[in-house]
Amino acid sequence: MEVLVINTGSSSIKYQLYRMPAAEVLARGIVEPLGEKARLTHTYDSRTHSAGVKASDHAEAMEVILQTLVSKTVGVIEDIRQIEAVGHRVVHGGEEFTGSVVIDEEVIASLEKYADLAPLHNPPNLTGIAAARAHLPHARQVACFDTAFHTTIPEVAYMYALPYEIYEKYRVRRYGFHGTSHRYVARRAAALMDRDKYDVNVITCHLGNGCSITAVKDGKSVDTSMGLTPLEGVVMGTRTGDFDPAILFYLAEKGYDCPTLKAICNKESGLLGISGESNDMRTLGKLAAGGNRRARLAVDIFCYRIRKYIGMYTAVLGTVDAVVFTGGIGENAVDVRKQICTGLEQIGIEIDEEINNATCQKEGLISTQNSRVKVFVIPTDEEAAIAKDTYQLAAKGTTHD
Protein backbone atom coordinates (compact mmCIF):
# COMPACT_ATOMS: atom_id res chain seq x y z
CA MET A 1 0.00 0.00 0.00
CA GLU A 2 1.28 3.50 -0.87
CA VAL A 3 0.80 5.98 1.99
CA LEU A 4 1.35 9.72 1.56
CA VAL A 5 2.38 11.61 4.70
CA ILE A 6 1.60 15.33 4.70
CA ASN A 7 2.88 18.05 7.02
CA THR A 8 1.12 21.31 6.19
CA GLY A 9 2.52 24.60 7.46
CA SER A 10 1.19 28.10 7.01
CA SER A 11 3.27 28.62 3.85
CA SER A 12 4.45 25.14 2.88
CA ILE A 13 3.57 21.47 2.41
CA LYS A 14 6.12 18.78 3.21
CA TYR A 15 5.46 15.28 1.96
CA GLN A 16 6.82 11.75 1.99
CA LEU A 17 5.46 8.81 0.02
CA TYR A 18 5.86 5.40 1.68
CA ARG A 19 5.36 1.87 0.51
CA MET A 20 3.86 0.04 3.46
CA PRO A 21 4.18 -2.04 5.50
CA ALA A 22 7.92 -2.06 4.71
CA ALA A 23 8.08 1.72 5.38
CA GLU A 24 10.12 2.19 2.18
CA VAL A 25 10.41 5.88 1.30
CA LEU A 26 9.68 6.27 -2.42
CA ALA A 27 9.95 10.08 -2.46
CA ARG A 28 10.04 13.10 -0.23
CA GLY A 29 9.90 16.82 -0.75
CA ILE A 30 8.47 20.23 0.01
CA VAL A 31 6.65 23.05 -1.75
CA GLU A 32 7.58 26.43 -0.24
CA PRO A 33 6.92 29.28 0.13
CA LEU A 34 3.37 29.32 -1.18
CA GLY A 35 2.82 32.30 -3.46
CA GLU A 36 4.59 33.84 -6.42
CA LYS A 37 8.01 32.44 -5.44
CA ALA A 38 6.83 28.88 -4.72
CA ARG A 39 9.42 26.21 -5.34
CA LEU A 40 9.31 22.41 -5.35
CA THR A 41 12.18 20.34 -3.98
CA HIS A 42 11.58 16.66 -4.72
CA THR A 43 13.93 13.80 -3.80
CA TYR A 44 13.53 10.34 -5.31
CA ASP A 45 15.87 7.42 -6.01
CA SER A 46 18.81 9.33 -4.44
CA ARG A 47 18.25 12.22 -6.85
CA THR A 48 16.84 15.70 -6.26
CA HIS A 49 14.65 17.70 -8.60
CA SER A 50 14.06 21.40 -7.91
CA ALA A 51 11.91 23.84 -9.85
CA GLY A 52 9.75 26.91 -9.54
CA VAL A 53 6.05 26.00 -9.52
CA LYS A 54 2.61 27.61 -9.54
CA ALA A 55 1.37 27.15 -6.00
CA SER A 56 -0.41 30.20 -4.67
CA ASP A 57 -2.23 28.17 -2.01
CA HIS A 58 -2.31 24.72 -0.40
CA ALA A 59 -4.71 23.29 -2.97
CA GLU A 60 -2.38 24.20 -5.84
CA ALA A 61 0.62 22.91 -3.87
CA MET A 62 -1.12 19.57 -3.36
CA GLU A 63 -1.81 19.39 -7.09
CA VAL A 64 1.88 20.06 -7.80
CA ILE A 65 2.93 17.29 -5.39
CA LEU A 66 0.59 14.72 -6.92
CA GLN A 67 1.59 15.66 -10.49
CA THR A 68 5.23 15.27 -9.47
CA LEU A 69 4.68 11.85 -7.91
CA VAL A 70 3.20 10.53 -11.19
CA SER A 71 5.53 12.44 -13.52
CA LYS A 72 7.13 10.33 -16.25
CA THR A 73 10.51 11.96 -15.57
CA VAL A 74 10.73 12.33 -11.78
CA GLY A 75 7.71 10.38 -10.54
CA VAL A 76 7.67 7.17 -8.52
CA ILE A 77 4.14 5.86 -9.17
CA GLU A 78 2.03 5.56 -12.31
CA ASP A 79 -1.35 6.68 -11.00
CA ILE A 80 -2.40 8.73 -7.97
CA ARG A 81 -5.02 6.07 -7.22
CA GLN A 82 -2.12 3.96 -6.01
CA ILE A 83 -2.10 6.27 -2.97
CA GLU A 84 -4.61 4.49 -0.78
CA ALA A 85 -4.15 6.51 2.40
CA VAL A 86 -2.92 9.93 3.50
CA GLY A 87 -1.54 10.60 6.97
CA HIS A 88 -1.71 14.19 8.21
CA ARG A 89 0.41 15.63 10.99
CA VAL A 90 -1.99 17.65 13.15
CA VAL A 91 -0.50 19.67 15.97
CA HIS A 92 -3.37 19.94 18.44
CA GLY A 93 -5.99 17.32 19.26
CA GLY A 94 -7.02 18.78 22.60
CA GLU A 95 -8.34 16.34 25.18
CA GLU A 96 -10.50 14.54 22.66
CA PHE A 97 -7.98 12.59 20.57
CA THR A 98 -5.85 10.05 22.40
CA GLY A 99 -4.48 8.49 19.21
CA SER A 100 -4.54 8.69 15.44
CA VAL A 101 -8.01 8.63 13.85
CA VAL A 102 -9.65 8.29 10.44
CA ILE A 103 -10.83 11.73 9.39
CA ASP A 104 -14.56 12.33 8.98
CA GLU A 105 -16.79 15.37 9.34
CA GLU A 106 -16.95 14.99 13.13
CA VAL A 107 -13.15 14.95 13.36
CA ILE A 108 -12.90 18.05 11.20
CA ALA A 109 -15.46 19.83 13.39
CA SER A 110 -13.39 18.98 16.47
CA LEU A 111 -10.18 20.21 14.84
CA GLU A 112 -11.88 23.50 14.03
CA LYS A 113 -12.91 23.73 17.68
CA TYR A 114 -9.29 23.40 18.82
CA ALA A 115 -7.97 25.92 16.28
CA ASP A 116 -7.73 28.68 18.86
CA LEU A 117 -5.42 26.49 20.98
CA ALA A 118 -2.97 26.21 18.06
CA PRO A 119 -3.75 29.17 15.79
CA LEU A 120 -0.46 28.92 13.90
CA HIS A 121 -0.77 25.20 13.22
CA ASN A 122 -4.28 23.71 13.21
CA PRO A 123 -5.77 26.03 10.55
CA PRO A 124 -3.01 25.12 8.02
CA ASN A 125 -3.39 21.46 9.02
CA LEU A 126 -7.11 21.70 8.21
CA THR A 127 -6.32 23.36 4.88
CA GLY A 128 -3.99 20.49 4.01
CA ILE A 129 -6.64 17.95 4.90
CA ALA A 130 -9.17 19.71 2.68
CA ALA A 131 -6.71 19.79 -0.23
CA ALA A 132 -5.88 16.10 0.12
CA ARG A 133 -9.54 15.11 0.35
CA ALA A 134 -10.32 17.14 -2.77
CA HIS A 135 -7.49 15.65 -4.85
CA LEU A 136 -7.56 12.11 -3.41
CA PRO A 137 -11.23 11.42 -2.67
CA HIS A 138 -10.66 7.66 -2.89
CA ALA A 139 -7.95 7.61 -0.20
CA ARG A 140 -8.46 7.07 3.52
CA GLN A 141 -7.43 10.25 5.36
CA VAL A 142 -5.89 9.89 8.83
CA ALA A 143 -5.04 12.53 11.44
CA CYS A 144 -2.01 11.93 13.66
CA PHE A 145 -1.74 14.32 16.61
CA ASP A 146 1.35 15.83 18.24
CA THR A 147 -0.60 15.98 21.50
CA ALA A 148 -1.94 12.40 21.48
CA PHE A 149 1.01 10.70 23.20
CA HIS A 150 0.67 13.13 26.10
CA THR A 151 -3.00 12.39 26.86
CA THR A 152 -1.81 9.87 29.47
CA ILE A 153 -0.35 12.67 31.61
CA PRO A 154 -2.17 12.64 34.98
CA GLU A 155 -4.22 15.55 36.25
CA VAL A 156 -1.63 16.41 38.90
CA ALA A 157 0.86 17.10 36.11
CA TYR A 158 -1.34 18.75 33.50
CA MET A 159 -3.32 21.19 35.66
CA TYR A 160 -2.14 24.75 36.23
CA ALA A 161 -2.72 26.41 39.61
CA LEU A 162 -5.18 28.88 38.12
CA PRO A 163 -8.84 29.18 39.19
CA TYR A 164 -10.37 25.84 38.28
CA GLU A 165 -13.20 27.47 36.33
CA ILE A 166 -10.65 28.68 33.76
CA TYR A 167 -9.89 25.04 32.99
CA GLU A 168 -13.59 24.18 32.92
CA LYS A 169 -14.46 27.06 30.60
CA TYR A 170 -11.43 27.25 28.30
CA ARG A 171 -9.62 23.92 28.83
CA VAL A 172 -6.44 25.75 29.83
CA ARG A 173 -4.01 22.95 30.84
CA ARG A 174 -0.75 21.31 29.83
CA TYR A 175 -1.12 19.49 26.50
CA GLY A 176 2.46 19.01 25.36
CA PHE A 177 3.79 18.69 21.81
CA HIS A 178 6.32 16.70 19.75
CA GLY A 179 4.35 13.67 20.91
CA THR A 180 4.91 11.65 17.75
CA SER A 181 8.66 12.13 18.11
CA HIS A 182 8.72 11.29 21.82
CA ARG A 183 6.66 8.16 21.23
CA TYR A 184 8.86 7.03 18.35
CA VAL A 185 12.17 7.36 20.21
CA ALA A 186 10.76 5.92 23.45
CA ARG A 187 9.59 2.83 21.55
CA ARG A 188 12.93 2.59 19.76
CA ALA A 189 14.85 2.86 23.04
CA ALA A 190 12.78 0.00 24.47
CA ALA A 191 13.62 -2.12 21.43
CA LEU A 192 17.34 -1.31 21.74
CA MET A 193 17.24 -2.45 25.37
CA ASP A 194 15.31 -5.59 24.38
CA ARG A 195 12.44 -4.51 26.61
CA ASP A 196 8.71 -4.37 26.06
CA LYS A 197 7.58 -0.88 25.09
CA TYR A 198 5.44 -0.69 28.25
CA ASP A 199 8.30 -1.89 30.48
CA VAL A 200 10.64 1.12 30.34
CA ASN A 201 11.09 4.45 32.07
CA VAL A 202 12.71 6.92 29.69
CA ILE A 203 13.45 10.64 29.58
CA THR A 204 13.23 11.74 25.95
CA CYS A 205 14.87 15.01 24.87
CA HIS A 206 13.64 16.40 21.54
CA LEU A 207 16.10 19.21 20.86
CA GLY A 208 15.79 21.28 17.71
CA ASN A 209 14.67 24.83 17.05
CA GLY A 210 11.73 23.80 19.20
CA CYS A 211 12.65 21.71 22.25
CA SER A 212 10.71 19.58 24.69
CA ILE A 213 11.52 16.99 27.35
CA THR A 214 9.16 14.14 28.27
CA ALA A 215 9.05 11.74 31.20
CA VAL A 216 7.90 8.33 29.95
CA LYS A 217 6.87 5.88 32.69
CA ASP A 218 6.02 2.30 31.75
CA GLY A 219 5.97 3.41 28.13
CA LYS A 220 3.46 6.25 28.70
CA SER A 221 3.97 9.99 28.86
CA VAL A 222 3.45 11.20 32.45
CA ASP A 223 4.88 14.72 32.16
CA THR A 224 6.28 16.97 29.45
CA SER A 225 7.88 20.39 29.35
CA MET A 226 5.67 22.17 26.80
CA GLY A 227 2.29 23.30 28.07
CA LEU A 228 -0.88 24.86 26.71
CA THR A 229 1.33 26.07 23.87
CA PRO A 230 4.85 25.19 22.66
CA LEU A 231 6.22 28.24 24.53
CA GLU A 232 6.66 26.63 27.96
CA GLY A 233 9.60 24.46 28.98
CA VAL A 234 13.30 24.60 28.14
CA VAL A 235 15.03 27.38 26.23
CA MET A 236 14.54 27.00 22.46
CA GLY A 237 15.80 28.61 19.28
CA THR A 238 13.59 31.70 19.50
CA ARG A 239 11.17 30.83 22.35
CA THR A 240 11.68 31.80 25.98
CA GLY A 241 10.80 28.53 27.67
CA ASP A 242 9.92 28.89 31.38
CA PHE A 243 9.94 32.39 32.85
CA ASP A 244 8.07 34.45 35.42
CA PRO A 245 4.72 35.40 33.80
CA ALA A 246 4.69 38.62 35.82
CA ILE A 247 7.40 39.86 33.45
CA LEU A 248 4.64 40.25 30.85
CA PHE A 249 2.55 42.39 33.23
CA TYR A 250 5.60 44.50 33.99
CA LEU A 251 6.37 45.03 30.31
CA ALA A 252 2.71 45.77 29.56
CA GLU A 253 2.88 48.57 32.11
CA LYS A 254 5.93 49.85 30.24
CA GLY A 255 3.86 50.14 27.06
CA TYR A 256 4.31 46.81 25.29
CA ASP A 257 1.11 45.58 23.65
CA CYS A 258 -0.05 41.97 23.39
CA PRO A 259 1.07 41.30 19.78
CA THR A 260 4.54 42.68 20.57
CA LEU A 261 4.85 40.53 23.69
CA LYS A 262 3.79 37.45 21.74
CA ALA A 263 6.41 38.16 19.11
CA ILE A 264 9.11 38.71 21.75
CA CYS A 265 8.32 35.45 23.55
CA ASN A 266 7.96 33.27 20.46
CA LYS A 267 10.23 34.76 17.82
CA GLU A 268 12.84 37.01 19.45
CA SER A 269 13.89 35.14 22.60
CA GLY A 270 15.63 31.85 23.41
CA LEU A 271 19.08 31.29 21.93
CA LEU A 272 18.57 34.18 19.51
CA GLY A 273 17.50 36.61 22.20
CA ILE A 274 20.29 35.77 24.64
CA SER A 275 23.08 35.67 22.08
CA GLY A 276 21.87 38.50 19.87
CA GLU A 277 23.43 36.54 17.03
CA SER A 278 21.63 33.37 15.99
CA ASN A 279 19.16 30.64 16.92
CA ASP A 280 21.38 28.03 15.23
CA MET A 281 23.38 25.95 17.72
CA ARG A 282 26.12 25.33 15.14
CA THR A 283 26.70 29.04 14.71
CA LEU A 284 26.60 29.66 18.46
CA GLY A 285 29.09 26.87 19.11
CA LYS A 286 31.59 28.45 16.74
CA LEU A 287 31.03 31.93 18.19
CA ALA A 288 31.37 30.63 21.75
CA ALA A 289 34.60 28.82 20.86
CA GLY A 290 35.89 32.12 19.46
CA GLY A 291 35.24 33.95 22.71
CA ASN A 292 31.79 35.48 22.14
CA ARG A 293 30.48 35.82 25.71
CA ARG A 294 26.77 36.03 24.92
CA ALA A 295 26.91 33.05 22.56
CA ARG A 296 28.62 31.09 25.36
CA LEU A 297 25.95 32.24 27.79
CA ALA A 298 23.15 31.15 25.44
CA VAL A 299 24.62 27.66 25.10
CA ASP A 300 25.23 27.41 28.85
CA ILE A 301 21.67 28.42 29.72
CA PHE A 302 20.29 25.99 27.14
CA CYS A 303 22.27 23.07 28.62
CA TYR A 304 21.55 24.08 32.21
CA ARG A 305 17.78 24.15 31.69
CA ILE A 306 17.77 20.74 30.00
CA ARG A 307 19.94 19.26 32.74
CA LYS A 308 17.50 20.67 35.31
CA TYR A 309 14.54 19.03 33.54
CA ILE A 310 16.35 15.69 33.42
CA GLY A 311 16.86 15.98 37.18
CA MET A 312 13.20 16.85 37.78
CA TYR A 313 11.96 14.00 35.64
CA THR A 314 14.29 11.59 37.38
CA ALA A 315 12.41 12.51 40.57
CA VAL A 316 9.07 12.03 38.77
CA LEU A 317 10.00 8.58 37.40
CA GLY A 318 11.90 7.27 40.41
CA THR A 319 13.81 4.80 38.27
CA VAL A 320 15.23 5.84 34.89
CA ASP A 321 16.30 3.20 32.37
CA ALA A 322 17.44 5.57 29.63
CA VAL A 323 17.82 9.14 28.44
CA VAL A 324 17.33 9.72 24.72
CA PHE A 325 18.59 12.65 22.64
CA THR A 326 16.84 13.35 19.34
CA GLY A 327 16.07 16.27 17.01
CA GLY A 328 18.56 18.38 15.06
CA ILE A 329 20.56 19.46 18.11
CA GLY A 330 20.13 16.21 20.02
CA GLU A 331 21.33 14.11 17.09
CA ASN A 332 24.25 16.29 16.02
CA ALA A 333 25.58 18.61 18.74
CA VAL A 334 28.08 16.33 20.51
CA ASP A 335 29.44 19.13 22.72
CA VAL A 336 25.92 20.06 23.83
CA ARG A 337 25.13 16.45 24.77
CA LYS A 338 28.37 16.27 26.76
CA GLN A 339 27.66 19.53 28.58
CA ILE A 340 24.10 18.47 29.44
CA CYS A 341 25.23 15.15 30.90
CA THR A 342 28.22 16.52 32.80
CA GLY A 343 27.25 16.67 36.47
CA LEU A 344 24.55 14.00 36.24
CA GLU A 345 26.82 11.16 37.36
CA GLN A 346 25.17 11.05 40.80
CA ILE A 347 21.87 10.06 39.22
CA GLY A 348 23.54 7.36 37.15
CA ILE A 349 24.22 9.17 33.87
CA GLU A 350 27.73 8.92 32.46
CA ILE A 351 28.59 9.24 28.78
CA ASP A 352 31.59 7.87 26.91
CA GLU A 353 33.21 10.97 25.42
CA GLU A 354 34.87 9.12 22.55
CA ILE A 355 31.69 7.30 21.52
CA ASN A 356 29.66 10.49 21.94
CA ASN A 357 32.01 12.37 19.60
CA ALA A 358 31.67 9.62 16.99
CA THR A 359 27.86 9.51 17.16
CA CYS A 360 26.46 12.14 14.84
CA GLN A 361 23.37 11.84 12.63
CA LYS A 362 23.11 8.16 13.55
CA GLU A 363 21.70 5.90 16.20
CA GLY A 364 23.94 4.85 19.03
CA LEU A 365 24.47 4.14 22.72
CA ILE A 366 26.78 6.86 24.06
CA SER A 367 26.86 5.97 27.78
CA THR A 368 29.72 4.14 29.45
CA GLN A 369 29.51 0.48 30.47
CA ASN A 370 29.33 1.59 34.10
CA SER A 371 26.51 4.09 33.53
CA ARG A 372 23.45 2.98 35.48
CA VAL A 373 21.25 4.90 33.03
CA LYS A 374 21.73 4.20 29.35
CA VAL A 375 22.07 7.26 27.11
CA PHE A 376 21.01 6.93 23.48
CA VAL A 377 21.10 9.09 20.39
CA ILE A 378 18.10 8.10 18.28
CA PRO A 379 17.25 10.04 15.10
CA THR A 380 13.56 10.74 15.20
CA ASP A 381 11.28 9.71 12.34
CA GLU A 382 7.89 11.27 12.90
CA GLU A 383 6.89 10.67 9.29
CA ALA A 384 7.52 6.92 9.60
CA ALA A 385 5.41 6.84 12.77
CA ILE A 386 2.60 8.68 10.98
CA ALA A 387 2.88 6.31 8.00
CA LYS A 388 2.65 3.30 10.33
CA ASP A 389 -0.46 4.64 12.11
CA THR A 390 -2.06 5.56 8.79
CA TYR A 391 -1.37 2.14 7.28
CA GLN A 392 -2.74 0.33 10.32
CA LEU A 393 -5.94 2.40 10.36
CA ALA A 394 -6.43 2.14 6.60
CA ALA A 395 -5.70 -1.58 6.39
CA LYS A 396 -6.95 -2.87 9.73
CA GLY A 397 -9.10 -0.17 11.23
CA THR A 398 -6.97 0.13 14.38
CA THR A 399 -3.46 1.04 15.56
CA HIS A 400 -1.25 -1.13 17.71
CA ASP A 401 1.07 1.27 19.51
Domains of the chain: which residue ranges? 2-145, 196-382
Cα–Cα distances (Å) from 239 to 209, 247, 267, in that order, read 9, 15, 6
Identical fold for domains 2-145 and 196-382, yes or no, is yes
Q: CA quadruple 34, 141, 44, 326: dihedral positive or negative?
A: positive
Please tell me the CATH superfamily of domain 196-382, with its number: ATPase, nucleotide binding domain (3.30.420.40)
What amino acid occupies position 83? I
The model's confidence at residue 124, banded by pLDDT at 50, 70 and 90, is confident
pTM of the shown model: 0.92
Predicted pLDDT of residue 10:
81
* Average pLDDT of every residue of the chain: 95
> Residues 332, 374, 379, CA angle at the centre, nearest 5°?
30
Predicted pLDDT of residue 113:
81
Query: Among this protein's residues, is 257 annotated catalytic?
Result: no
Catalytic option among 104, 146, 223, 352: 146
What amino acid occupies position 381? D
Q: pLDDT for 53-75, tens place per residue?
A: 999 999 999 999 999 999 999 99
pLDDT of 76 strictly over 90: yes
What DSSP line would sit under 35-68, residue for residue?
Answer: BTT-EEEEEETTEEEEEE--BSSHHHHHHHHHHH
pLDDT of 400 strictly over 70: no
Give me the percent of the chain exceeding a pLDDT of 90: 91
Indicate the class that CATH gives domain 2-145.
Answer: alpha beta
